[in-house]
Amino acid sequence: MNGWRARIGLVVPSSNTTAEPELSRVTPAGVSVHAARMPLEDVTADDLDAMADRAVECAELLSHADIDVVAYGCTTGSLLHGHGFDAELEATIEATADCPAVATALSVERALDALDCQRIALATPYVEDLTRREVAYLEASGHEVVAVDGREVEANTDIGSLAPEDAYRQVKALLADAEPDGVFVSCTNYPSLSVVEALERDCGLPVVTSNAATVWDALRTVDVDAGGLPGRLAGLGKYRD
């Protein structure tokens, strides 16, 4: 039986080609990932706002698969309206699916806090408006963004076509003139999970990606060890606060 240990329901934008493969690669034996999709082609504030209306429908459909936790796998989609919206999104999905839920933006916050990262270098693929919103979100949660770079990519399929090496080089360039205590590579469609360990070794800092934080949070929510994750998140234990 698939998911004999736990089943993760994943709500993602329809144009996301990265989240499912990355999450499936790092989940432990006995954990399965099952996705539902919300329509999105361009990563803009208006389109993300419209997409969010479909999250409840996706959560209801995933509940038919007897899932154990739902992960809302979109970073900017879960922080678009700031703090309060993220927790409300988790609560609404939980009530609809009748199981715990995590939203990527809050999962990132939890991961950064667990790693004791307060001064953050932020790398995104986003257009300026969304990168700016993300900086405001992180700073409202008590983090200081000391370096930031956005790639100005709007089409989500173009974000998914980036390579992990792009994320590696973006972070290395970002750290040239900054002294953070942690790195966050944003976007569940930005392929970057595979370079986390190389970045941590080469930069000497904890590195969190959107997908790493999301799967870590989902696994610890269902009391499954996240030791298969790359990087320092793997060593943080399995139980949710």
What is the predicted pLDDT for the residue at 192?
A: 98
Whose tokens are 């993602």? That residue is: 12
Q: Residue 12: in which H helix or E strand, if any? A: strand 6-13
Do residues 23 and 70 touch, judged by C-beta distance below 8 A? no
Nearest to 73 by CA among 60, 95, 90: 90
Q: Do domains 6-105+211-231 and 107-209 have the same CATH topology?
A: yes
pLDDT reported for residue 76: 86
Q: CATH for 6-105+211-231?
A: 3.40.50.12500
CA distances for 56 relative to 88, 170, 189, angstroms: 12, 35, 21
| Alpha-carbon gap, residue 67 to 241, rounded angstroms | 21
**How high is the pLDDT of residue 240?**
53
pLDDT of residue 23: 96
Tokens encoding 214: 């999301």
- Spell out the domain ranges in the chain: 6-105+211-231, 107-209
Cα gap 128→134, rounded to integer Å:
10
Residue-level pLDDT at 128: 96
**What is the domain class of 107-209 according to CATH?**
alpha beta
Cβ burial 56-85 (10 Å sphere, 16+ → b, else e) = bebbebbbeeebbbbbbbbbbbbbbbeeeb
Token pair listed for 233: 């998140």
For the chain, 241 residues long, give each residue's pLDDT as a single digit of tens. 789 999 999 999 989 999 999 999 999 999 999 999 998 887 887 877 777 778 889 999 999 999 999 999 999 888 888 888 889 989 999 999 999 999 999 999 999 999 999 999 999 999 999 999 999 999 999 999 999 999 999 999 999 999 999 999 999 999 998 899 999 999 999 999 999 999 999 999 999 999 999 999 999 999 999 888 999 999 885 555 4
For 181, counting Cβ atoms within 10 Å of its Cβ (0-12 exposed, 13-18 middle, 19+ buried), the class is middle
Q: Are 32 and 80 in contact (CB under 8 A)?
A: no
